[in-house]
Structure 1
Amino acid sequence: MSRAVPRYRGFRTRLALTPQQETRLDDQAHAARALWNLLHELVTVSGARRPPVAYLDGEVRWARTRVEWLGVLPAQAAQAVLKTYHRAWVNCWDGRAEAPTYKSRSRAVLAVDIPQGRDLHVVRVHRRWGMVNIPKLGRVRFRWTRELPGVTKGSPPGRITGARLTKDALGWHIAFRVETEAQTAPPRDWADSHVGIDRGIVIPLALSDGSTYEHRAWLTEEEEARLLRAQRQAAHRERHKKPGGRVSKRLRATYDQIKDLRARAKRRVLDWQHKTTTAIAETYTLVSVERLSVVNMIKSARGRGDLPGVKVAQKAGLNRGIAGEAWGRTVELLAYKVDDRGGRLVQVPSPGTSLRCSECGTVTLGSRESQQWFACRNNECQWSGNADFNASRNIDRAGLALVTVAGRAVVRQT
């Protein structure tokens, strides 16, 4: 029997700011970053192991009334910085994360939180445009790319609980935090609509039904040449910069070129990932993928001084390829899109998926003749085919085994 459960999503879109609004929003973001650094200095200098939140809250209120450049930050945004900073320490104390550190001006992402949705007053004014109220900034236009729950007549039921403003190479964006209600799907038979997916570099996504999803290079040859030239210029100009000195205008302009090209590549990655995961989610109800630790897979092979690594350059190239495919984000997108359509995503253990024959199930040495070809060494089988296709069939079979109970396919959360 199905029941209603809360579902939380984020809808991100681009803001259309005037130059004056962009300057004021930049000031708010820098004030939020500086407030984080002030809190960190207060905690580390005082030496208190677990400073009380009430004390930090009082210091934040005092500083906002007496420091002019901190006063440009809305009160709710300042409270959001305090809560996020305290949560970072709680995660550190519980062993879930490292201790928080200072946020540098050049590396930190400019961001401002709007924790309450009631202050946003979102309305749709045009087929392509909407309006949102930002504290201490006023009404701002944004690109209307999808229906927001509870905003217009006929929109999906739900409400906007808050938003977060972030800036990248394209400018300022707003990500609405949305709460909706979804009906949980009852247990169902997955026999007719299931697929296993093997993630790779040469073939980004290989499916167990024989289909593949591929893409071109994220940057053209001309763009790659421009990126390489800008990186070389930045390295040359960094050598002439004094340690601890200010960044020159030329070096900052070079950084902006690099940032713009990388943002362009990231947009193309996201576009391909969204389109691909949507197509998969609309076709299959049970999707199985490998449970991979991507962070461990892209560690450097440099080694230590007494134990140097081998094939460091080749491993570095492999790491760049894995990081460029963003395997983790692909699974995250698949998970919520499949769930929205009443299906499930299952993550299966990775050992053995690429070395086991998907036809007979045996594991033999030397079956992977190359990176892209698999040939079973079992004399009674001798099946051969694409290695990614073979792995995807094993993943699909393992996913079905995880959700099968007493001969009937029943969903089980992973």
Structure 2
Amino acid sequence: MAQVETLRAYRFALDPTSAQLADLNRHAGAARWAFNYALGVKVAAHRRWRAQVDALVAAGVPEAQARKSVKVPVPGSQAIKKELNALKGDSRIDPELPDGFHGPHRPCPWWHEVSTYAFQSAFIDADRAWGNWLDSLTGRRAGGPVGYPRFKRKGRARDSFRLHHDVKRPTIRLDGYRRLLLPRLGSIRIHDSGKRLARLIAKGHAVIQSVTISRGGNRWYASVLAKVTQEIPDKPTRAQAERGTVGVDWGISHLATLSQPLDPADPGSIHVANPRHLDQWTRQLAKAQRALSRTERGSKRRVKAARKVGAIQHRIAQRRASTVHLLTKKLATRFAAVAVEDLNVRGMSTSARGTVEQPGRRVRQKAGLNRAILDAAPGELRRQLTYKTSWYGSNLAVLDRWHPSSKTCSSCGSAKPKLTLSERVFHCPTCGLAIDRDHNAAINIARHAVPLVEGDVNARRSPTPTASGQAGRAARQKREGPPPGGSPRRE
């Protein structure tokens, strides 16, 4: 066992009063406004830079030289915060001031009604969004391309905000086991019990760093981020070592097929059933969405109908998350190593519509397959296994995505040249083995997967950029240009 400090989030469902509910909406609106304000300042600087570059190009200067010569700094969060503090003034009514000097003429006359951390965290989020686009544009960010940062629209963007505090003088803390004390919001009742976090804090094993308040469906949630000192096993337990490595073949007919039973007493537990949460709520969701489409924009009935659609979608997401959490917890705690495939989920769920010149085939069937793929959440399964295996003393191993795990015989190792998707039983022409196709793949995954080393997760998760991807990134950079002043952190 090793004492390790880690950041862990404890999520609680809130039960606010009507007054507290209004305060939560006010804080979320302020955070959305602050994000848009900060992003607007950055976009304005970028447009000034673009205009100056275009002027030089029109004068005959080569574009590459014009880009290097024009320097327009992009304000960061601290500069924007300082500028806003000078502009916002005081919105409280002073009888000695004329009417023209009161709050309505300030950019945010209601600033004193919300916590200042709602503004500051939104400024930081705008910096991160701008930095992600810049890193993606220049090739420093792995994964798919990140688009130009967009403004948050009311009703479309997720309602959320983040609050910080001084850990030496905490203002975010548990008020007993069933209430959470937040600055400017007061003590809010929580549905769950905070006993586990409260006991860690009382023992000095946890310190609250921040809290993120978000709305999901018709509920508000508080995600309390704490720095926790916990014991991390440096090796698998005896029970885990006896079970060894388990291969996990993700699928749709079954959520997962394992190389060995999840429960030794139940041989049939090599298959983990797929609950298909989206299919269970398809009729209710379609009915609610039809009702929403019949309402008039801006009406109260549309707001009510949208809340009903959001509540159904949130219920589906919650049940899907619970299923994945239960499965990943069992895998991480019962085996010494968990082996998975490096799946390209984005490529698997790409639309088959094609183009006007070359339209796709079987588009409707592919759309249904994409929904089933995303409903099974293979990316979330991989993400949770990445950190849970490190918590419980097990290891994560990853199989290269191009390895023919389904076509290779798990007994003799010979590979079939062709295997159609309709063949659910693998028949080996060499040794005569007949085995379930997914079970055969799970055994091969467990046998050939390579254990991840620390710091190598992102490298194995994202493929090497292809020539076409680099060309696309270069084209975007030529079209949009890098943000003026380079990094958004420079002021």
TM bin, normalised by shorter chain, reads: 0.7 to 0.9
Question: Any idea what SS the aligned residue of 2:213 has?
Answer: strand
- Aligned to 1:68, the other structure's residue is in SS state coil
Decide which moves more: 54-63 or 342-351.
54-63
Distance 2:4 2:118 in 1: 29
The reply on whether 1:214 has 2:276 as its aligned counterpart is no
Structure with the larger helix share? 2
User: For residues 133 and 364 of structure 2, what CA distance do their matches in structure 1 show?
Assistant: 34
Deviations 1:344-385 (A, max 9, x none): 11222122122211112121134447253222232xx12122
Please name the residue that 2:163 is paired with.
114
**CA shift for structure 1 position 149:** 6.5
Contact 2:34 2:122 in 1 (8 A): yes
Paired amino acid for 1:7: T
CA–CA distance in structure 1, aligned partners of residues 293 and 130 of structure 2: 35
Structure 1 stretch 99-108 or stretch 173-182: which is displaced more?
173-182
Partner of 1:140: 188
Q: Which letter does structure 1 place at the counterpart of 2:271?
A: T
Within the candidate set 275, 278, 284, 2:329 is matched to 278
Of all paired residues, the percent bearing the same amino acid is 25
Q: How far 1:63 sits from its partner (Å)?
A: 4.6
Q: Say which structure is richer in strand.
A: 1
Residues 426 and 440 in structure 2, CA contact (< 8 A), matched pair in contact too: yes
Which residue in the other structure is 1:407 paired with? none
SS at match of 1:363: coil
Counterpart in the other structure of 2:426 = 374
Unaligned runs of 5+ in 2: 50-71, 90-105, 262-269, 457-491
Question: Aligned partners of 1:301, 1:277: CA distance in 2, in Å?
Answer: 31
Taking structure 1 as the reference length, the TM-score comes to: 0.86
Match of 2:43 in 1: 44
Q: What secondary structure does 1:204 align onto?
A: strand
Point out where structure 1 has 5 or more consecutive residues left out of the alignment: 404-410
1:69 counterpart residue number: 110
- Secondary structure of the 1:141 match is strand
Query: Does the CA contact (< 8 Å) of 2:2 and 2:231 recur in 1?
Result: yes
Determine which of 399, 407, 412 is the counterpart of 1:360. 412
Distance 1:290 1:149, change over 3 A: farther
Matched, 1:234 2:284: no
**Residues 316-327 of structure 1: pairs in structure 2 closer than 5 A:** 316-327=367-378
TM-superposition CA deviations, 1:130-149 (whole Å, max 9, x none): x3221211122222256117
Residue identity opposite 2:413 in structure 1: G
Q: Do the aligned partners of 2:160 and 2:214 also contact (CA within 8 Å) in 1?
A: yes
Indicate whether 1:264 and 2:264 are aligned. Answer: no
Counterpart-to-counterpart distance in 2, 1:63 and 1:88: 24
Counterpart of 1:387 in structure 2 is 437
For the structure 1 residues 88 and 175, does the alpha-carbon distance in structure 2 shift closer, same or farther, using more than 3 Å as the test? same
Q: Following the alignment from structure 2 to structure 1, what is the Cα–Cα distance between the partners of residues 299 and 423?
A: 46
Aligned 1:7-406 pairs, distance under 5 A: 7-46=6-45, 47=48, 50-53=73-76, 54-65=78-89, 66=106, 67-95=108-136, 96=141, 97-116=146-165, 118=167, 119-123=170-174, 125-126=176-177, 129=178, 131-142=179-190, 143-144=192-193, 147-148=196-197, 151-153=200-202, 157-182=205-230, 185-186=233-234, 192-210=243-261, 211-218=270-277, 223-237=281-295, 246-351=297-402, 352-368=404-420, 370-378=422-430, 381-399=431-449, 402-403=450-451
After alignment, is 189-198 or 253-262 more displaced? 189-198
Aligned equivalents of 1:146 and 1:361: distance in 2?
52
Most deviating of 62-71 and 315-324:
62-71
Amino acid at match of 1:255: A
Distance 1:158 1:285 in 2: 28
User: 1: CA distance between counterparts of 2:41 and 2:227?
Assistant: 35
Contact 1:120 1:132 in 2 (8 A): no
The residue matched to 1:347 in structure 2 has which SS? strand
Letter in 1 for 2:323: W
Distance 2:311 2:421 in 1: 41
How many pairs does the alignment contain?
A: 390
* Counterpart in the other structure of 2:480: none
Q: Structure 1 pair 166/392, CA: closer, same or farther in 2 (3 Å)?
A: same
Q: For CA contacts below 8 A with separation 6 or more, give which structure has more relative contact order.
A: 2
* CA 32–250 in structure 1, closer or farther in 2 if over 3 Å, else same: same
CA RMSD, 1 decimal:
2.5
Greater mean alpha carbon deviation, residues 183-192 or residues 102-111 = 183-192
- TM-score by length of structure 2 reads 0.73
Deviates more, 1:297-306 or 1:71-80: 71-80
Q: Which has the greater radius of gyration?
A: 2
Q: 1:367 to 1:299 in 2, by over 3 A?
A: closer
Q: Per the alignment, do residues 373 and 151 of structure 1 end up closer, same or farther by CA in structure 2, a change over 3 Å counting?
A: same
